[in-house]
Chains A and B, each alone.
Chain A
Amino acid sequence: MIENYLKIAFRNILRNKVYSFINIVGLSIGIASCLVILLYVQYEFSFDRFNKNYSRIYRTASEISFSGKTIKAAVSSDKLGPALKDDVPGVENYTRIFDLGMIARQLVKFQDRSFYTRGFMFVDSSFFSVFSYKLLEGNSSSALSVPYSIVITKSAALKYFGDRDPVGQVVQLEQGDTTLNFTVTGVVADPPSNSSLQFQFLSSFSTLYTNWWAHDITIGKWGTISYYTFILSSHSQSAGNLRKELALFTEQHLKGNPELEGMSVSVILQPLKDIHLRSHLDYDFPSNMDIQTLYILSVIALFLLFLACVNFMNLSTAKYVKRSKEISVRKVLGAERAQLISQFLGESLITSLLATVLGLVLVELLAPYAKALTGVGLSLHKLNGGVIGIGFVAATVVTGLLAGIYPAVFLSSMEPLSLFKRTIKSVNLGDAVRKFLVVFQFTISIALIVCAIVVANQMGYIQNSDLGFNKSNLVVISLCRPLWQADEMSRFDAYRTEIARNPNVVSTTASYGYPGGIFMKSSFQTTGKDSKSLVMNWVPVDSEYINVLGLHMKAGVPFSKSHTQYGMIINESAQRELGLNNPVGQELVTYNGLGNCKIVGVVRDFNYQSLRNKIDPLVIFDGKQSQYQFLICRIAPLNYQATLNFLKTRWDEIYPGYPFDYSFLDADLARLYVNDGRFGGAVNGFAGLAIAIACLGLFGLASFGVQERTKEIGIRKVLGASVPVIIKLLSGEFVKLVLVANVIAWPLAYYVMTRWLQGFAYRTGIGIWIFILSGGIALAVALMTVAAHAIKAATANPIQSLRYE
């Protein structure tokens, strides 16, 4: 019996080539996109689970209340770890982590090699027993016990030492004007990409208790809440119990503790496996993401698969006309309903099997595209055989059942006689479902096209909108040496003077921050009665800043070379929010150590942050040279490379041993929208897939429609119908369906996109043209798909089509 079914199935696949092609290719596209998304989702869920003890590792975070505010922070006091191990039963071990890279990039040098890194951490020597990062060289229990010892990753070792033995070498960390020496005691394997902790250097936590750190920064008090603490619980301890113990601990050790200086702090327990997707605390890991995103993606994945299955259902029910005879005959010969259902399901399973195989090939082909979108290298290779096997079977079975169950049940339930005769009623039922499914597919496609256009439109708006300054041709060079010492200041001046000689370097300015980068925050207060206090962004700059960036003054004058130090230029938002009518000449009380400073001008609002945000009040501060971090150069818009080479050559002469680290300001601005760009890319991809799947289906349906009506077309032609009339006759129904889909898709897309755009303070509108364009695209694509058949049928020799009947 099964043999018989298989034979029929394969014969059907081979005999109806167009139909099989559409089914298999359509399904495989659906399966492949579904798998790519699921691979990505699976990757995100795999975070930190490579740790053997992941189910027993927790982070102890803090809930801090002070002056009526409560915040939750991922960090805790350095005293917490040791105290928990001593006092709380079931806490087997702990490791503390301080991530220096969270504050700023760090410059690490070895002889003449120096690189910036964000992965510089201080950890306890128990780090390697709590986590499963693999120590390749060195002793895991002692490597990190002595201050100023350091374990470096394999790739960092390669970068700094080449083939020299890393152990015993001394690397230098520049901290302000001091240089710290660390002795390499071990080499650790690079953390996998699905590790929340991304380090290159692991130094001993005890280093933080030496004078260098403990001199400026408080450590060793309950109130110094700056350090990650991870604990390893014993096998027998449950999370629930641990929480109770921690509540008790909080009660006993933290409540009213004078070291907290009035704050009230309690300990929060976070399982390691939940941190990546479910934790949104202050100072949390930058790689964390929202689980909501993964749910949405999973839904989209299933949606795409379902869209592809719809084709299968549609084509199968369309084909039922051709197969109805077979079914009736089988029924008359005594086939049971279950047997017929299993026959049809079997056929769809075979199709989905072929589609899955093709889909897996497509996944490998799609992987680079997925990498561009997600930044993650997804590949089936990364899964083990078992997972692939299960996934493969699951994909085949789910798709096969999803696609086959409706036609199977629908067809097998028909009365044999009605199938012979094709009574009006039965045809209409299948027809209605089919139309519904086509409308469904096109609704999704059109909605996605609208979304894609709106996103692209907004991206274009961001790209082209006037930010209030001239963002092109600006090169930003990072100053790696602090300027608070006279010799560094003169070194900097020397560089600046040197490069100014090149006519292609139009002008330069030094500053703490630049648009798209980081600004400081501080409190400012107006003087006089009704004084008003406001926390504002502020940035120390030199006198050229306004001119080099091309900012426009609204009142007052730009800073001048013969400046009065510590003059301030505020932006319009600051003026507004401070409530100053005539700011120029007024003073503000500052809390950045400079006392009262004078406002010398007001600059027109410019977008120095993401266009997602309203323009915040800003104070541009003349002076505070020691804080300058960047040299911003406006260069001539020709021969970039030569100018850059020149800048680098001079740098290497004046700053030997320090990396020439530069970026283009407009590129840095664009980086603010990396995620939006990815989102746009994903929407484009989904829209393309959806419309491709929908059109594949339409192509198949149209081909059946035409086949079914061959005789009718022949007769009409004999009676004198013209080719256009017949094309209209054949396409009319599909056009109607696509129009209906438009009506449903438009409000849907409008709603979703309005919400998305609300995330931008500066945004484009959603013009009616977008809807018309999207609908037009869908209609045009659908028409082309259908017309191919219609034209063929309409221009065929009528005698031919009549003879076949």
Chain B
Amino acid sequence: MIKLSAIEKYYENRAIKTYVLRNINLEVKPGEFVSVMGPSGSGKTTLLNIIGMLDTPSNGEYYFLDEPVHKMSEKKLTELHKTYIGFVFQSYHLIDELTVYENLETPLLYQKVNGNDRKGRVAEALDKFNIVAKKDLFPNQLSGGQQQLVAIARAVIAEPKLILADEPTGNLHSEQGKEIMDLLKELNNQGTTIIQVTHSETNAAYGNRIIRLKDGWIEKA
């Protein structure tokens, strides 16, 4: 499903190249649950962004479903974001102007899911994440952990084939964290491919493979 070969990423500032990722070779098969670990600043988010096609590598090739990503049109990328990939960001990125309910509804709107269906699915997600009572609140009226829950709910509501989660439990207390990890595991069992970034060995263990990054390099297992 995902094939990265010799991916590099650097930032250039006055002709000085700062490498963030170096010679990344990685393959992820459908149905895998991969955990990415590494110290802060090691390039985990950058790697996830490249995989999510939000960022472009400086060198190397990236194939998604055997298609070269650098040759994809904007339309194709939008289509993939709409139907194929779900994101959970480290800093939630909820839409401040929308209520919890409307935030969850937005991806379905872009997928042109019809009204009744949409209502049903939003209600289901609210229920599943235990946030029914918060549905009419705005993000700034929620705690960090609650916002994280909404962000995860929004990522899974569109039933993507691939979920990219950047420290999804970073702001949750351990009990909530466990619930989220169980949920991801269940989605994985149903066939969703998941790549998560985490600092916790416990959470990493939910995955069937761990990739460790250090200074932009993948450490040999």
Give the B-binding residues of A (Cβ under 8 A): 1, 4, 7-8, 11-12, 15, 325-326, 328-337, 339, 415-417, 420
B106 pairs with A4, CB closer than 8 A = yes
B97 pairs with A336, CB closer than 8 A = no
Partner of B110, one of A12, A334, A417: A334
B102 pairs with A7, CB closer than 8 A = yes
Between B94, B107, B112, the greatest number of chain A beta carbons within 10 A of the residue's beta carbon is seen for: B107
Give the A-binding residues of B (Cβ under 8 A): 49, 52, 54-55, 74-75, 78-79, 81-83, 87, 93-98, 102, 105-107, 109-112, 154, 158
Partner of B82, one of A12, A334, A420: A334
Partner of B109, one of A1, A329, A416: A1
A328 pairs with B102, CB closer than 8 A = no
A333 pairs with B107, CB closer than 8 A = yes
* Given A335-B78, A337-B74, A416-B54: A330 touches B106 (CB 8 Å cut-off): yes
B97 pairs with A333, CB closer than 8 A = no
B102 contacts which chain A residues (CB < 8 A)?
4, 7
Minimum CB distance partner of B82 in chain A: A334
A15 pairs with B97, CB closer than 8 A = yes
A334 pairs with B81, CB closer than 8 A = yes
B96 contacts which chain A residues (CB < 8 A)?
325-326
Minimum CB distance partner of A5 in chain B: B109
A332 contacts which chain B residues (CB < 8 A)?
52, 54, 81, 87, 93
A415 contacts which chain B residues (CB < 8 A)?
54
Q: In whole angstroms, how far apart are the Cα atoms of A329 and B103 in the complex? A: 10
A4 contacts which chain B residues (CB < 8 A)?
102, 105-106, 109
Give chain A nearest CB distance to B4 CB in angstroms: 18
Q: In whole angstroms, how far apart are the Cα atoms of A325 and B112 in the complex? A: 22
A336 pairs with B105, CB closer than 8 A = no
Q: In whole angstroms, how far apart are the Cα atoms of A337 and B109 in the complex? A: 15
B110 contacts which chain A residues (CB < 8 A)?
330, 333-336, 339
Between A7, A329, A333, A337, the greatest number of chain B beta carbons within 10 A of the residue's beta carbon is seen for: A333
Q: In whole angstroms, how far apart are the Cα atoms of A751 and B142 in the complex? A: 61
A330 contacts which chain B residues (CB < 8 A)?
95, 106, 110
Give chain A nearest CB distance to B190 CB in angstroms: 21
Between B74, B79, B98, B109, the greatest number of chain A beta carbons within 10 A of the residue's beta carbon is seen for: B109
Partner of B107, one of A1, A326, A334, A416: A334
B97 pairs with A12, CB closer than 8 A = yes
Give chain A nearest CB distance to B87 CB in angstroms: 5
A333 pairs with B94, CB closer than 8 A = no
Give chain B nearest CB distance to A428 CB in angstroms: 16
Partner of B98, one of A8, A334, A337: A8
> Can you give 22 A-B contacts (C-beta < 8 A)?
A4-B105, A4-B106, A15-B97, A325-B93, A329-B93, A329-B94, A331-B81, A332-B54, A332-B87, A332-B93, A333-B81, A334-B78, A334-B79, A334-B82, A334-B107, A334-B110, A334-B158, A336-B78, A336-B110, A415-B54, A417-B55, A420-B93
The 9 closest A-B pairs by CB, nearest first: A334-B82, A334-B81, A334-B110, A333-B107, A417-B54, A326-B95, A329-B93, A1-B109, A336-B78
A329 contacts which chain B residues (CB < 8 A)?
93-95
Total inter-chain residue pairs, C-beta < 8 Å: 63
B105 contacts which chain A residues (CB < 8 A)?
4
Partner of A11, one of B49, B78, B97: B97
Partner of B49, one of A333, A334, A417: A417
B158 contacts which chain A residues (CB < 8 A)?
333-334
Q: Interface residues of A: mostly helix, strand, loop or mixed?
A: helix
Identify 18 new A-B residue pairs, CB closer than 8 A, beyond the known A8-B97, A333-B158, A337-B74: A1-B109, A4-B102, A4-B105, A4-B106, A11-B97, A325-B95, A328-B93, A330-B95, A331-B78, A332-B54, A332-B93, A333-B81, A334-B110, A335-B78, A336-B75, A337-B78, A339-B110, A417-B55
Q: In whole angstroms, how far apart are the Cα atoms of A1 and B115 in the complex? A: 10
A326 contacts which chain B residues (CB < 8 A)?
95-97
Between B54, B75, B154, the greatest number of chain A beta carbons within 10 A of the residue's beta carbon is seen for: B54
A328 contacts which chain B residues (CB < 8 A)?
93
* Given A325-B93, A325-B96, A329-B93: A334 touches B55 (CB 8 Å cut-off): no
B55 contacts which chain A residues (CB < 8 A)?
417
B87 contacts which chain A residues (CB < 8 A)?
332
B95 contacts which chain A residues (CB < 8 A)?
325-326, 329-330
Q: In whole angstroms, how far apart are the Cα atoms of A7 and B83 in the complex? A: 25
B83 pairs with A334, CB closer than 8 A = yes
Q: In whole angstroms, how far apart are the Cα atoms of A304 and B52 in the complex? A: 46
Q: In whole angstroms, how far apart are the Cα atoms of A601 and B81 in the complex? A: 98
Q: In whole angstroms, how far apart are the Cα atoms of A257 and B170 in the complex? A: 106
Q: In whole angstroms, how far apart are the Cα atoms of A8 and B107 in the complex? A: 15
Between A8, A328, A415, A417, the greatest number of chain B beta carbons within 10 A of the residue's beta carbon is seen for: A417
Give chain B nearest CB distance to A409 CB in angstroms: 14
Q: In whole angstroms, how far apart are the Cα atoms of A15 and B105 in the complex? A: 21
B49 contacts which chain A residues (CB < 8 A)?
417
B154 contacts which chain A residues (CB < 8 A)?
333
Minimum CB distance partner of B54 in chain A: A417
Minimum CB distance partner of A413 in chain B: B74
Minimum CB distance partner of A325 in chain B: B93
Q: In whole angstroms, how far apart are the Cα atoms of A11 and B96 in the complex? A: 11
Minimum CB distance partner of A329 in chain B: B93
A12 contacts which chain B residues (CB < 8 A)?
97
Minimum CB distance partner of B95 in chain A: A326
A333 pairs with B106, CB closer than 8 A = yes
Between B94, B105, B106, the greatest number of chain A beta carbons within 10 A of the residue's beta carbon is seen for: B106
Minimum CB distance partner of A420 in chain B: B93
* Given A4-B109, A12-B97, A328-B93: A333 touches B54 (CB 8 Å cut-off): no
Minimum CB distance partner of B138 in chain A: A11
Between A12, A325, A330, A334, the greatest number of chain B beta carbons within 10 A of the residue's beta carbon is seen for: A334
